[in-house]
A = this chain, B = another copy of it.
Amino acid sequence: MPLRVGILGATGAVGQSFVQLLADHPLFEVTALAASERSAGRTYREATNWIGADEPPERIADVEVQPCEPGLDCDLVFSGLDAGVAGEIEAAFARAGYPVVSNARNYRMAPDVPLLIPEVNPDHTALIERQDWSRSESESRGDGETRADSAVAHRPSPITHRSRGGFIVTNPNCSTVGLVMALKPLADAFGVEAVHVVTMQALSGAGYPGVPSLDALGNVIPHVGGEEEKMARESRKLLGRLTEAGVEDAALMVSAQCNRVPVLEGHTECASVRLATPASPEEVAEVMAAWEGPLAGMGLPTAPRRPLRVFADERYPQPRRHARAGGGMQVSAGKVQACPAIAPEGYGVKFVVLSHNTIRGAAGGAVLNAELLHAQGYLEARAEPAREPAPLG
């Protein structure tokens, strides 16, 4: 019997993506949609400017949208909220005992909140044990990455056993995830010391209405607000080591230059990496291609068969052709070559990596996070408040 899930920010771009990805999910059933006051009380169809292909699933289209307040009839919530409001609302749901699987950036860097890519750092979910939202005051918090940081940090003391308490788990920025998935097997095999990465990011990463077409068409915008810092900061936490004291950031120098290009889906990134031990491009490509990751055999519904695919054809990967590989969850790489600029002979390698920004890099990543939490036993049905009347649709 599937867990009942609510979607916060259901009418926005990320929320719409959640709706699509969860339409036929074997573990989760959407039972509540929540959005801003403006949308509340209308059907999902009426409240939503559906930006994807086709239309919202029939079953969902006529559901009434509720306000983003605890009390939703569900066992966990997915959050596609904007950072401007996610801090307070997600905290309120956590305090009310809901697991919150969030795509927002507000709590990503909080010391006791897992920043999670299931294939990369599945053990970081243990941070959940340190969260104790029942004792946190209901003050305003989490409305910025730094402030969230301290807000969580000042809470009394971590507890070691958690039962029925709410918590927050986050997934990284859409441009971080592809890079880190390509780096993970290299970090394990050779050690990774430094990365210079140049992104060519899809327009859908900016949400809707997002980038004006007059800026986008036939153009490159060499700037994506805040993205370069996020890539540096998040990569170190994701590749960090879980210790008694929390996550110890990886000693990895990441320098990013982020660009917007006229592509609809799929962030393409050119990375140049300094390894800790020497390796030829062929060895690097082989390690990437052979990487199975820790999810192999776990049967998580959204996990791709292989996390990383390495192309031999030098024209690939390309966003229009390969972003949707593995349902948008597989990361593609290619053009693995030596890079003599970033490191001495034998230590430098460069390659191209591609990932789907709104699936793997947003809603799909969050769904996979929830599947991992489910497999690890962090999710359970909450005490049911009178489920008799068929919930929706």
Taken together as a complex, chains A and B put the C-alpha atoms of A321 and B223 apart, in Å, by 15
Contact (Cβ within 8 A) B321 A255: no
For A264, list chain B residues within 8 Å (CB): 214, 217-218, 320
Q: Mark each residue of chain A from 271 to 312: 1 if its CB lies under 8 Å from any CB of chain B, else 0.
A: 010100000000000000000000000000000000000000
Q: Are B54 and A321 within 8 A (Cβ)? A: yes
Chain B residue, CB-CB nearest to A212: B209
B200 to A53, Cβ gap below 8 A? Answer: no
Contact at A316–B212, with CB atoms within 8 Å?
no
* Docked pose: A60 CA to B55 CA in angstroms: 33
Q: Which of B54, B209, B335 contacts A222 (CB 8 A)?
A: B335
- Taken together as a complex, chains A and B put the C-alpha atoms of A322 and B55 apart, in Å, by 9
A194-B262 contact in complex given A211-B213, A213-B211, A348-B255, C-beta closer than 8 Å: no
Complex Cα spacing A194 to B339, Å: 10
Is A220 within 8 A of B342, CB to CB?
no
Tell me if A334 is interfacial: C-beta within 8 Å of chain B.
yes
A360 at the A/B interface (Cβ < 8 Å)? no
> Are A220 and B54 in contact (CB-based, < 8 A)?
no
Over the window 177-210 of chain A, the binary record of Cβ atoms lying under 8 Å from chain B Cβ atoms (1 yes, 0 no) is 0000000000000000011101010011000111
Chain B, residue nearest A52 (CB) = B321
Please report A residues at the B interface, Cβ cutoff 8 Å. 51-54, 194-196, 198, 200, 203-204, 208-223, 228, 253-255, 257, 259, 261-264, 268, 270, 272, 274, 314-322, 324-325, 334-335, 337, 339-342, 348, 350, 352
